[in-house]
């Protein structure tokens, strides 16, 4: 194809073309990668929330691709502006039978709240989830347990918004409604039941740990931390810094090594529930000093007391109302709430969306204020 002299010259004068080709390829790849970083952003770039003085390591770093990723359940959130009463409207309690909680609402707002609850809790089943398959004449009956539970959950939601403002609205108005926990599901995710002891071959303390469970966050830490701290109200504490502490393990006001392990289990649960690390609430150089904590510590402390109240006053008493299949698999106990039930891995539920602005009916046990 080519002249013989050209072929002979190439044979006598070989040239390495692979080196330059590799160099050009590497340079081209680097330029392409740089262009993609400029165009789309650095996937390894992080942002840090500083929670304490500089130089103490007190920050919560997050990859931007994770930090800016929206909660996938937000796009399915249903809301509707209220109908501002003009005065003189007939009230739901006068129109419908057995309206025990929302009877002071106008007919339009009552039906608006009912429609929203359907979308938040039972979008597939619709109204029949609480009211059955009968006609409107039967809607006043308490035949289904779901209606009885829903009524109590409305009262619980009103209590949270009315009395726990210091936790729920610590930074700005956020509030809670049914969707905060349910996210379109009949049963909220991240509920919990009693499961300890988890080691039937052991007695005493060791029976509560060394088995990876969902309540221990798949670690060997104790699996009864939520039960002891968010239900029974035991004191959250770790062992003293002293090598020998006066007192008897298991006695009152004595923080044993076992209490410390259970506390670590709860703190691990906290971190996973909010997607943060220890210094979100604690000072990295003085974990034991309550006077050096961050403002988030106070918010979390209020949350602990709030969850204790919700479990003991609202959720646990419903055990007699639920059917067998809705109770715990070991102790037949009622489903209970904890931090992750609302937060779902985010610092704020639904990433800080104000879910109460359109629902003043769920913000108070008094007559709602419409603006």
- Asked if 241 and 110 sit in the same domain, the reply is no
Would you say residue 121 lies in a domain? yes
Would you say residue 4 lies in a domain? no
Q: What is the spatial distance between Cα 156 and Cα 162, in angstroms, rounded to a whole number? A: 10
What's the pLDDT at 97?
94
Would you say residue 142 lies in a domain? yes
What's the pLDDT at 41?
64
Model confidence at 206, in pLDDT bands (50, 70, 90)?
confident
Whether the predicted pLDDT of 115 surpasses 80: yes
Q: Is the peptide bond before 281 cis (omega within 30 degrees of 0)?
A: no
Q: What is the spatial distance between Cα 59 and Cα 296, in angstroms, rounded to a whole number? A: 12
Percent of the chain with pLDDT over 70: 94
Count of structural domains, the chain: 2
What's the pLDDT at 37?
62
Would you say residue 22 lies in a domain? no
Mean pLDDT value of segment 341-368: 94
Mean pLDDT value of segment 349-357: 94
Select from 370, 367, 322, 359 the least CA-distant residue to 157. Answer: 359
Model confidence at 11, in pLDDT bands (50, 70, 90)?
confident
DSSP string, 196-225: ----TT--GGGGGSSS--TTTTTSSS-S-H
CB count within 10 Å of CB 267 equals 20
What's the pLDDT tens digit per position in 41-51?
666 677 777 77
- Asked if 316 and 205 sit in the same domain, the reply is yes
- Asked if 333 and 198 sit in the same domain, the reply is yes
Whether the predicted pLDDT of 248 surpasses 80: no
What's the pLDDT at 32?
75
CB 110 within 8 A of CB 102: yes
- Asked if 202 and 270 sit in the same domain, the reply is yes
What's the pLDDT at 43?
64
Would you say residue 115 lies in a domain? yes
What's the pLDDT tens digit per position in 257-282?
888 899 999 999 999 999 998 989 99
Whether the predicted pLDDT of 113 surpasses 90: yes
* Dihedral angle computed from the Cα positions of residues 291, 297, 299 and 302, in that order, rounded to the nearest 10 degrees: -80
Would you say residue 63 lies in a domain? no
- Asked if 229 and 338 sit in the same domain, the reply is yes
DSSP string, 96-123: SSS--SSTTSBHHHHHHHHHHHHHHH-T
- Asked if 210 and 174 sit in the same domain, the reply is no
Whether the predicted pLDDT of 180 surpasses 80: yes
Residue ranges of alpha helices (H) inside the chain are 4-12, 18-40, 64-67, 92-95, 107-121, 128-131, 145-163, 165-168, 178-182, 225-230, 257-274, 295-309, 339-343
Per DSSP, what are the bridge partners of residue 313? Answer: none
Mean pLDDT value of segment 280-304: 88
- Asked if 89 and 150 sit in the same domain, the reply is yes
Mean pLDDT value of segment 27-47: 71
Sign of CA dihedral 41, 42, 44, 47: negative
What's the pLDDT at 71?
86
The phi and psi torsions of 77 (rounded to 5 degrees) equal: -70, 130
Q: What is the spatial distance between Cα 233 and Cα 205, in angstroms, rounded to a whole number? A: 19
Model confidence at 17, in pLDDT bands (50, 70, 90)?
low
CB count within 10 Å of CB 177 equals 25
Whether the predicted pLDDT of 183 surpasses 90: yes
Q: Where are the beta strands (DSSP E) in the chain?
A: 46-50, 59-63
Q: What is the spatial distance between Cα 197 and Cα 205, in angstroms, rounded to a whole number? A: 9
Mean pLDDT value of segment 226-252: 82
Whether the predicted pLDDT of 1 surpasses 90: no
DSSP string, 307-348: HHHIIIIIIGGGGGTS-GGGS-TTT-PPPB--HHHHHTTSSS
Whether the predicted pLDDT of 9 surpasses 80: no
What's the pLDDT at 67?
66
- Asked if 100 and 112 sit in the same domain, the reply is yes
- Asked if 226 and 297 sit in the same domain, the reply is yes
- Asked if 327 and 357 sit in the same domain, the reply is no
Would you say residue 26 lies in a domain? no
Per DSSP, what are the bridge partners of residue 336? Answer: 192
Segments forming the whole domain that contains residue 90: 78-189+348-371
Task: Kindly report which listed range (66-80, 299-313, 328-342) carries the lowest average pLDDT score.
Answer: 66-80
Would you say residue 271 lies in a domain? yes
179 or 33: which leads in pLDDT: 179
Model confidence at 185, in pLDDT bands (50, 70, 90)?
very high
CB count within 10 Å of CB 63 equals 14
What's the pLDDT tens digit per position in 63-80?
666 666 788 899 999 999
Whether the predicted pLDDT of 195 surpasses 90: yes
Q: What is the spatial distance between Cα 215 and Cα 223, in angstroms, rounded to a whole number? A: 5
Q: What is the spatial distance between Cα 246 and Cα 261, in angstroms, rounded to a whole number? A: 19
- Asked if 202 and 184 sit in the same domain, the reply is no
What's the pLDDT at 40?
64
Tell me the longest C-alpha to C-alpha distance in the chain.
108
Whether the predicted pLDDT of 13 surpasses 80: no
- Asked if 254 and 298 sit in the same domain, the reply is yes
Mean pLDDT value of segment 154-175: 96
CB count within 10 Å of CB 14 equals 7
Could you tell me the CATH number of the domain that includes residue 323? 1.10.468.10
Model confidence at 291, in pLDDT bands (50, 70, 90)?
confident
What's the pLDDT at 241?
74
Whether the predicted pLDDT of 102 surpasses 90: yes
User: Average pLDDT of the chain?
Assistant: 89
């Amino acid at each position: 194809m080519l002249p013989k002299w050209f072929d002979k010259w190439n044979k006598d004068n070989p040239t390495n073309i692979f080196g330059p080709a590799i160099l050009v390829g590497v340079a081209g790849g680097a330029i392409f990668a740089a262009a993609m970083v400029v165009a789309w952003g650095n996937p390894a770039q992080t942002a840090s929330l500083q929670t304490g003085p500089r130089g103490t390591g007190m920050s919560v770093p997050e990859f931007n691709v994770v930090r800016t990723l929206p909660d996938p359940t937000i796009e399915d959130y249903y809301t509707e502006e209220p109908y501002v009463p003009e005065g003189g409207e007939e009230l739901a309690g006068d129109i419908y039978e057995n309206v025990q909680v929302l009877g002071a609402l106008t007919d339009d707002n009552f039906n608006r709240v009912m429609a929203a609850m359907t979308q938040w809790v039972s979008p597939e089943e619709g109204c029949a989830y609480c009211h059955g398959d009968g006609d409107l004449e039967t809607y006043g009956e308490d035949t289904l347990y779901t209606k009885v539970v829903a009524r109590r959950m409305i009262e619980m939601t009103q209590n949270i918004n009315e009395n726990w403002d210091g936790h729920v609205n610590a930074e700005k108005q956020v509030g809670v409604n049914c969707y905060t926990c349910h996210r379109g599901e009949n049963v909220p995710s991240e509920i919990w039941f009693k499961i300890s002891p988890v080691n039937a071959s052991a007695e005493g303390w060791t029976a509560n740990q060394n088995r990876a469970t969902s309540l221990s966050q798949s670690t060997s830490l104790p699996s009864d931390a939520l039960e002891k701290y968010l239900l029974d109200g035991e004191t959250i504490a770790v062992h003293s810094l002293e090598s020998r502490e006066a007192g008897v393990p298991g006695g009152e006001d004595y923080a044993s090594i076992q209490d410390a392990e259970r506390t670590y289990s709860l703190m691990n649960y906290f971190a996973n529930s909010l997607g943060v690390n220890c210094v979100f609430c604690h000072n990295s150089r003085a974990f034991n000093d309550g006077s050096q904590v961050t403002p988030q510590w106070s918010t979390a402390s209020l949350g602990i007391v709030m969850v204790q109240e919700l479990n003991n006053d609202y959720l646990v008493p419903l055990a007699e109302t639920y059917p067998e299949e809705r109770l715990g698999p070991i102790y037949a106990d009622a489903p209970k709430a904890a931090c992750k039930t609302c937060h779902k891995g985010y610092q704020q539920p639904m990433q800080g969306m104000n879910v109460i602005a359109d629902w003043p009916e769920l913000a108070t046990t008094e007559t709602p204020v419409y603006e």
